[in-house]
Amino acid sequence: MKLKTRLIISFCIILFVPILLATLFIAGFFKTQIATIESAYGIEEIDMNYMVNSLQLMNKYASMQYEELAEVAENDPDKLTDDEYLETKNRDLSMKNCYLIVKVDGEVTYNGGDKENPDDLNLPDVENDEKHAAVGTYFDFDEGQVLIKHVGFTTSDGKDGCLFIVIEGFDFFPEAKELLLEIMISIVIILVCTAAMLIAWIYSGMIIPLKKLEEATNNIAEGNLDFTLEARSDDEIGRLCESFEEMRKRLKESSEEKLNNEMENRALISNIAHDLKTPITAVKGYSEGLLDGVADTPEKREKYLRTINNKANEIDTLLNELTLYSKIDTNKIPYNYTKLPVADYFNDCAEELGIDLENKNIGFSYLNYVGNDVLIIADPEQLKRVINNIVGNSVKYMSNRAGVINLRVKDVGDFIQVEIEDNGKGIAQKDLPYVFERFYRADASRNSATGGSGIGLSIVKKIIEDHGGKIWLTSKEDVGTIMYFVLRKYQEVSDESKDTDN
């Protein structure tokens, strides 16, 4: 959910939910309190007006008491001079802010209120023709307001008396105060619950993801990239989490790549240092032999010089591989593409290989099945490097038996396929998937015969792929290895083809 939508919903919840819930609660409380008042005051079918107008309610209640007492005054007036009866009646009335006062022959005979002198109320004088008054008299004093209804009576011994129903305090009746208190408590509870729900909702939707982002930031600051930040929503924060997770993945990949590069560089330095040690030691030994006069014949001097020259060439080859490796690592291998006649180019390569392998007492055969008119687009120098690296690798791992290397060039439709086969000791099946990886060596032993930087075949693979070709191999232990690579033929686009394309 978007933050804008979340804020709009929060605003609506804050505005409408408390109003709706308060309305429902108040309506329920009013209904409950009306039923309570009806039961407490014995009044039927009261409405909301009685809840907000306490005078109306108390007047209704007093009228009911008036009718009851008026009936007693008519049928049994002596009861109104009975203190026990009056006390019982007054006790019920006092719970409703009412009390009784009785006068007989102008003297107060019963006072159910808390005023010591009832005359302070200015009780009305009752005339003989006004013995009963259903209409109350309202008085407003400094101490408060009272409503007085009176019932006149004549006792059995002929005395005239009057019973006054005094109703005081019209601000709020007890049930109204209880209702207001319940409403206030309910509103507070509603506001607290609404706020709690909003806080929980916002906390789960915003604060928790932000805390996870903070933890993820701290992990990255500490160099820990081995964690996962999951986006649990589709809002702005969720998309921020997704972007952060993507950044973490890239940082981890970059860190791993940097670590791998450092390991490869260390491996390269170690390999180069090891492989340089052998020819340098040889150069040093033979040069010292010349200086010390060990080579005392022209033949020995020539042999020493030739050995020094060969070892210098090995050093030069290793340094060239190191230079080329740095260019591969930055994708800056210089290519000078040109159209090459396949037959002529590989004939020249085979001639050079034949002379070199003959000097090493290794047999060599060359077969060309490609026509003289077949062309490819390639860099002749880099392609020669491919062939020399493959053949050089075969020479390094020749077995003790007489070595043989075969070079075959075939026409396979839109491609030419080059096969370089040897009868060396071969490669184990478990090592075949890794032979083109940098610094991988199937033979872990290191000596002057099987040296090398470990990047020769990775360079070969890179060059062939940059030419748009493909390279692979097959091998059997103690039988030999066949290296294959294919390159696309160059085909002229005829004018008819151009017209057809247009």
Per-residue pLDDT tens digits for 321-373 = 777 766 666 666 778 999 999 999 999 999 999 998 988 889 999 999 999 99
Same structural domain, 342 and 482? yes
Mean pLDDT of 204-213: 76
Same structural domain, 397 and 440? yes
| Domain presence at residue 360 | yes
**In degrees rounded to 5, what are phi and psi of residue 12?**
-65, -40
Contacts (Cβ under 8 Å, ≥6 apart) of 478: 399, 425, 426
What percent of the chain has a predicted confidence (pLDDT) above 70? 76
Query: Which is higher by pLDDT, 501 or 466?
Result: 466
Number of domains in the chain: 3
| Domain presence at residue 346 | yes
DSSP 425-450: S---GGGGGGTTSTT--S-----SSS
Same structural domain, 251 and 299? yes
Contacts (Cβ under 8 Å, ≥6 apart) of 345: 380, 383
- Domain of 232: which CATH number? 1.10.287.130
For 358-396, the three-class secondary structure string (H helix, E strand, C coil) is HHCCCEEEEEECCCCCCEEEECHHHHHHHHHHHHHHHHH
Same structural domain, 282 and 301? yes
Same structural domain, 322 and 384? no
Domain with 342, as residue range(s), is: 336-488
Q: Is the pLDDT of residue 478 over 80?
A: yes
**Dihedral through CA 407, CA 433, CA 489, CA 389, nearest 10?**
-50
- Domain of 71: which CATH number? 3.30.450
Residue ending a domain, among 171, 187, 214, is 171
Q: What is the pLDDT of residue 173?
A: 55
Residue ending a domain, among 141, 171, 201, is 171
| Domain presence at residue 210 | no
| Domain presence at residue 137 | yes
Q: Is the pLDDT of residue 95 over 70?
A: yes
What percent of the chain has a predicted confidence (pLDDT) above 90? 18
> Which ranges constitute the DSSP H helices of 222-297?
236-291
| Domain presence at residue 61 | yes
Output the six-digit token pair for 68: 């009851």
| Domain presence at residue 183 | no
Same structural domain, 316 and 401? no
Per-residue pLDDT tens digits for 32-61 = 766 666 665 666 655 555 555 566 666 777
Distance of CA 132 to the CA centre of its chain: 84
Contacts (Cβ under 8 Å, ≥6 apart) of 449: 396
Per-residue pLDDT tens digits for 96-131 = 778 888 888 888 888 888 776 666 666 766 554 455
Number of H helices, E strands in the chain: 12, 12
Give 104's strand partners. 107, 161
Same structural domain, 120 and 79? yes
| Domain presence at residue 87 | yes
pTM, full prediction:
0.48
Same structural domain, 299 and 342? no
Taking a C-beta distance cutoff of 8 angstroms, is the pair 139, 148 a contact? yes
| Domain presence at residue 300 | yes
Minimal CA–CA distance to 487: which of 347, 328, 342, 354?
A: 342
User: What three-state secondary structure class fits 294?
Assistant: coil
Per-residue pLDDT tens digits for 261-294 = 787 777 767 777 777 788 888 888 889 888 888 8
Taking a C-beta distance cutoff of 8 angstroms, is the pair 58, 147 a contact? yes
**HSE, side-chain direction, 13 A CA sphere, residue 239:** 6
Same structural domain, 291 and 345? no
Residue spans of beta strands (DSSP E) within 298-369 = 338-341, 363-368
Model confidence at 437, in pLDDT bands (50, 70, 90)? Answer: confident
Same structural domain, 114 and 159? yes
Q: What is the pLDDT of residue 485?
A: 96
* Cα distance between residue 58 and residue 170, in whole Å: 8
Output the six-digit token pair for 116: 């010591």
Q: Token match 């490097």: residue?
A: 385
**In degrees rounded to 5, what are phi and psi of residue 178?**
-65, -40
Output the six-digit token pair for 177: 């105060």
Same structural domain, 68 and 138? yes
- Domain of 344: which CATH number? 3.30.565.10
Same structural domain, 354 and 469? yes
Output the six-digit token pair for 264: 């490869």
* Cα distance between residue 434 and residue 446, in whole Å: 18
Residue 26, CA distances (Å) to 49, 173, 229, 319 in order: 15, 18, 47, 92
